[in-house]
Chains A and B, each alone.
Chain A
């Protein structure tokens, strides 16, 4: 089956990130064309500039993650916390596959960008849609989940990646703990009560700050 336009762009952006990650100076149109097997002219149809490709690596993340989540056979049976956690883990996997590039550019292309970055808004949209379609959330709890909560979660996603980049614990254990505790808290709040989970999180924050 022929790859669709999105897949071609994704492959090209991955190669761009890889070349840039190795050495920004060697990221030329020629080297890029060579790495992707695409003609330079075709690459220019996919991305108007080299920087556009690098930026696209981040802005297209929500779509790229969504496509991968669709491939998980049991995803439809996941709980809210499992879906959220899977979204985050998939994002980290994609970013980790181009770690050197991400370390060089994440702050510049994502954190310091003006306005709401597409990674944040796309993530917020995923979180909102997932909660909206989860039948395990009682209707009575929905008023307590206004839009801004999901927007906040979208922004938190950006910060989480920044935290992960600095995380030197074994297997990024601290990041996984944050993901686990926050998604579990959100699920518990959405499905039922919140007290125990909040205490758990506060304890973790306290412990973390003491280190």
Chain B
């Protein structure tokens, strides 16, 4: 019998990870995501599936543990929140450069600096434009519910191993902390055979497997960069996910992800009660960003409002997609503040309809 559980988003990620056959979790406590490791430790996944859970000495250590575990061909993940994810950026760049599959969860909070512990979406640039050094991309998934927190774990592993690329779930403190009903998949077995590139000890019948992001020959390094770009192109062509709500008859659209998308659903309802036909476009993959889908929508409507818990980051991608053809503005709150549905409707009227 299918059974719903009432859980926090952070706990749902942890439970989903055990069930997805994760081999190892390496993390460091930080609010508002500490429930991930707390849940894992309490659940004793070592007894349930043989999964390793280790509290590292820092986010720097945990991301490098991820590197080691992924390079050994294992399903590994870590979770943190904004300042901790900033610390991980060097390691994430190495992971992308060594083409290792893994999952990084960012339950984002308000910044910059130590910022606040309340929800934020100001890590969009860091997540989608490559927060570390070099030309690389993460696949970035943005859940908008506790159910999606759970569902995106196995999706992340599938994408990570399909493309040998790190995947980030970019959530926020609201989705991480709030409790909702969630239904889990059945327990998946842990992987039995490692991928052929993994460093697991060199048998006599093959040469050594080497995991590195270093090539001192610039011509070879450029060729490798081209190979990475080919991979990213393939991901852009095949893996875009998005949701459109009430866009068929819409004159205007909110563009929003995660917590902002949820608030916008209430704003849509309020606006429609006033006779303003507004829809919601919700990118689910923030990278690859659904440019073409936003372009297509922009041809049917008069204006778009990008609603974010930031000073306006995703709005740049919306503008790239719209190419100046219709009005695009941003409305957001920062530093852990969350807009009410009413103020978003007001912003739509002022900045898009009346502006």
Pairing of A with B: no
- B residues apposed to A, CB below 8 Å: none
Interface of A toward B, CB cutoff 8 Å:
none
